[in-house]
């Protein structure tokens, strides 16, 4: 029973952290409801993934989770997709981006990193608030991408580690063959 209580407590901290990163609780809840409706409308997370990102034959979606992408302008809420081929993020809401003609266009903020371009993944936490956990993806070309505010941080981290190690095993198998 103690393990169940610890899992519930960890999940509650994840929800609180996820909501805390949003601008206003009402906006966060509205965004989550809108996202849920979109997932149902499209027919599931895998179909959303296939709509948003190029999808190769044999590629498998391993996990999709809600989190925030850390940017210099502040955290952006969205979905992190972990597949056998890539790690991809798409914002829940569109953002305004200036065009060359001076007008603005609304687009979803997207980040895509092929798994073979990932050098490593690191975990970090706030020392004063250990429930605030962060995940850093480091690419082979020196970029680092930070995610935070996961509802279930440990599952997302383990899944990402598994995807990277599986890809490395696949590459090693190809070298031997």
pLDDT of residue 127: 85
- 33 pLDDT band, cuts 50/70/90, is low
The 10s digit of each residue's pLDDT in 161-175 is 998 888 766 655 555
pLDDT at 94 (0 to 100): 83
pLDDT at 83: 94
Q: How large a percentage of the chain has pLDDT more than 70?
A: 69
Alpha-carbon gap, residue 97 to 102, rounded angstroms:
10
CB 136 within 8 A of CB 4: no
- Give the chain's domains with CATH numbers: 3-22+57-175 (2.30.29.30)
Number of residues that make up the chain: 177
Q: How confident is the model at residue 23 (pLDDT cuts 50, 70, 90)?
A: low
H/E element, 25: helix 25-42
Say whether pLDDT at 129 is over 90.
no
**Tokens 């955290």 identify what position?**
75
Higher-confidence residue of 126 and 12: namely 126
Q: Is residue 123 over pLDDT 60?
A: yes
147 has pLDDT over 90: yes
Q: Is the pLDDT reported for residue 12 higher than 60?
A: no
Q: What is the pLDDT of residues 35-80, one digit of tens each?
A: 555 655 566 668 888 888 988 889 999 999 889 999 998 899 899 9
Which 3-state string (H, E, C) describes 45-102? HHHHHHHHCCCCCCCCEEEEEEEEECCCCCCEEEEEEEECCEEEEEEEEEEEEECCCC
Mean pLDDT value across the chain: 79
């Amino acid at each position: 029973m103690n393990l169940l209580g610890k899992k519930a407590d960890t999940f509650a901290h994840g929800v609180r952290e996820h909501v805390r990163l949003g601008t206003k609780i009402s906006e966060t809840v509205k965004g989550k409801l809108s996202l849920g409706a979109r997932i149902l409308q499209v027919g599931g997370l895998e179909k959303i993934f296939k709509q948003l990102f190029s999808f190769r034959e044999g590629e498998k979606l391993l996990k999709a989770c809600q989190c925030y992408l850390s940017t210099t302008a502040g955290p952006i809420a969205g979905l992190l997709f972990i597949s056998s081929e890539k790690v991809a993020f798409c914002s829940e809401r569109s953002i305004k981006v200036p065009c060359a003609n001076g007008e603005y266009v609304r687009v979803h903020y997207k980040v895509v990193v092929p798994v073979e371009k990932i050098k490593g993944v690191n975990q970090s936490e706030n020392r004063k608030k250990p429930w605030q956990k962060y995940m850093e993806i480091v690419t082979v070309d020196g970029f680092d991408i930070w995610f935070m505010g996961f509802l279930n941080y440990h599952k997302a981290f383990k899944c990402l580690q598994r995807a990277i190690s599986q890809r490395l095993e696949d590459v090693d198998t190809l070298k031997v063959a």
